[in-house]
Structure 1
Amino acid sequence: MQRILVIGGSRYFGKLLVERLQAAGHEVTVMNRGSGRPPAGVEHLLIDRDDEEALVAALGSRTFDVVVDQVCYTPVQAAIAAKVFAGRTRRYVMTSTIEVYDPATAALPAVPPGHGAPEETVDPAAWLVAMDLPWHEAAYLAGHYAEGKRQAEAVLARAGGFTFACVRSAHVLGGGVREFTGRLAHYTERIRRGEAVEVHEDPLPTVFIHHAELAAVLLWAATGSDFAGPVNACSDGLLDVRDLAATVAAAVGREPVYRMVAAGAPASPFSFDRSYAMSNARAKSLGYLFSRTADWLPGAVAEALAASPAIPTTD
């Protein structure tokens, strides 16, 4: 049994992580701003993580074996966490994202199409941190999500006071009504209606992970492994937007209709005109075995369809 703090953990794979930690017999505390209550038996701390003084006061003398940070988006938040949790935990696991590899948001080494970026493509120990940018402004943060994650990783990687690890998640799907991003629903609803899906003429593939598998990876990173630094989490198998649409089409019984857009133009989610995937080889070398996207995607599509109301078609 370990004492584990989950920062966030109120919805989607974070909520599932909390449930699995509790089921595994760990002593779990959830810290958030009140967006959702944890299961019975889980301690709940209502704290604004951006308020360092309030955070210290609320934590009191608590210490943890592991902190899992689901909602660290900026280097400013990371710096507060690094200061407050130094000496309070032996391990700090941050949930990060495939977005750190997006070449549209930073000058990164080229990854050949059809290949996945390894973790060293973005090295937190070497990434430049700029604390004086307007990270507190919602509009700025929304437009700099990937850079905020890169810099948050960098701050925590250099902090000392605990072992730092981060799980860089692929695009997350599954969960039906719980899949709050609405990206899979975008495809199920448009294809079921017979409406056009905007795609690039030659879309490049990416990687995905089921929400339950991501919860399992985070559980492993928190309690089943002692690795440090970043690790990529994605199911096996590259898919492009047409592969995704074909799976939806098979479920709804009608062919997708496409509207082509030029390179660089906005398109539907998961239509990429740039190499935008990552490799899970490091996680495998550490002992984690992933599912295949092709095996779980039809079920995720079925969940999305079941979660949507009946939609009249254009026929």
Structure 2
Amino acid sequence: MRILVLGGTEFVGHALVETALAQGHDVTTLNRGNHAKAAKVTSLQGDRTKPEGLRALEGQNWDVVLDTWSWDSYVVTDSVKALRESARSYVFISTRSVYQFPTAEGADEGAPLVEGDPEAGRDGAEVPYGEAKRGSEIAVEQGFPESYLHVRAGLILGPRENIGRLPWWLNRIKRGGDVLAPGPQDLPLQYVDARDLAAWTISAVERGLSGPYDMVSRSGHTTMGEFLSTCVEVTGSADARLRWSDPQAVVEAGFAPWSELPVWIPPGPDHAGLHLSDTSKVLAAGLQCRPVQETIADTWAWLQSIGGEVQLRPDRPRPGIGPDREAAFLKPNAE
């Protein structure tokens, strides 16, 4: 197939390009040219937020468009308008944040959605992440009503992660000493490796799948205990000691779940919405999730290859907690 990837240089976009190339597809990318282009890729330059940003696409045709856009909806709307006569189908890498939060335990693709406007952001107003993604979905549905695919991702981990969640835990544990480990240890987690997301998406395109699919592992693919103990094992940290702490005590101490303690959310409605969803549809459609040990080991290898410091996305908060706050919390609870 002839595949156009809008973006294609960072994290999920990079995984999509690499997977498509490995499957023998003809790949073209359109981006601002801020990163080195992949080998064997036709690289076009254009800033989708600018009036002439899509001009490089004129006069060409593709079988499918893969779009990872995460900001204002109008940008996807303009892309859809520019491509609906020159592409057969459109795949949008969306998010489970398009559902009204918190979603109920066991929710699936039928959960209530947030409002979305395909023109959101054109006037310069700030648009919440979930609403921006939903507005983009609507634009895709309108432009490709019979041939669209929404890949609604949950937590995404793996090599090249530019949010910094797993890299923060790996660097923290490698530093060693007493590590604040928010419990309970058997807390189920739900995520997807970016490479598994990409493999399923390219396969879904090849098979002509359409409609929305929640893209995340089964609940309990790993647990908080296995996740952090694997980080200890993979980094080879000689003196890292996981100090498992009661979740209520962690929250009452002012630590922000998800952001200051990445991946973790204490038991309750918010945890159910993010880590207890029903993903039977995508699993039945062939999603295969590699073991957590492989995701963590490969992320650590990549992190070491770049010197340990990740170039984080500027639109997301820096994850993690400082050592002084961590030590102050753990000291009174020392055994």
- Work out whether the TM-score is over 0.5: yes
Under a length normalisation based on structure 1, what TM-score does the superposition of the two structures give? 0.78
Task: Indicate whether 1:119 and 2:109 are aligned.
Answer: yes
Task: Indicate whether 1:270 and 2:260 are aligned.
Answer: no
Q: Which amino acid aligns with 2:6?
A: I
- How well do the aligned residues superpose, as a CA RMSD in angstroms? 3.3
Shift of 1:166: 1.4
Shift of 1:132: 6.4
Tell me how many residue pairs correspond in the alignment.
Answer: 293
The 5 Å alignment of 1:66-85 reads 66-85=64-83
Deviates further, 88-97 or 8-17: 8-17
Distance 1:85 1:305 in 2: 37
Q: Which amino acid aligns with 1:229?
A: G
Flag the 1:163–1:248 CA change in 2: closer, same or farther, 3 A: same
Q: Which residue in 2 is equivalent to 1:188? A: 170
1:241 to 203, 221, 224: 224
2:212 to 226, 230, 233: 230
Q: Which amino acid aligns with 1:13?
A: V
Shift of 1:179: 2.5
Task: Indicate whether 1:34 and 2:33 are aligned.
Answer: yes
1:154 to 138, 159, 173: 138
Task: Indicate whether 1:256 and 2:242 are aligned.
Answer: yes
Flag the 1:46–1:203 CA change in 2: closer, same or farther, 3 A: farther
1:26-70 CA-to-partner distances (Å, cap 9, x unmatched) read: 221100011223333321111111235441x32221111100012
Shift of 1:137: 5.3
Flag the 1:262–1:54 CA change in 2: closer, same or farther, 3 A: closer
Distance 1:27 1:128 in 2: 36
Q: Which residue in 2 is equivalent to 1:65? A: 63
Distance 1:68 1:234 in 2: 18
Which structure 1 residue ranges, 5 or more long, are not aligned? Answer: none
Under a length normalisation based on structure 2, what TM-score does the superposition of the two structures give? 0.74
Flag the 1:107–1:17 CA change in 2: closer, same or farther, 3 A: closer
For 2:110, what is the secondary structure of its paired residue?
Answer: helix
Flag the 1:303–1:171 CA change in 2: closer, same or farther, 3 A: farther
Task: Indicate whether 1:129 and 2:116 are aligned.
Answer: yes
Q: Which residue in 2 is equivalent to 1:165? A: 149
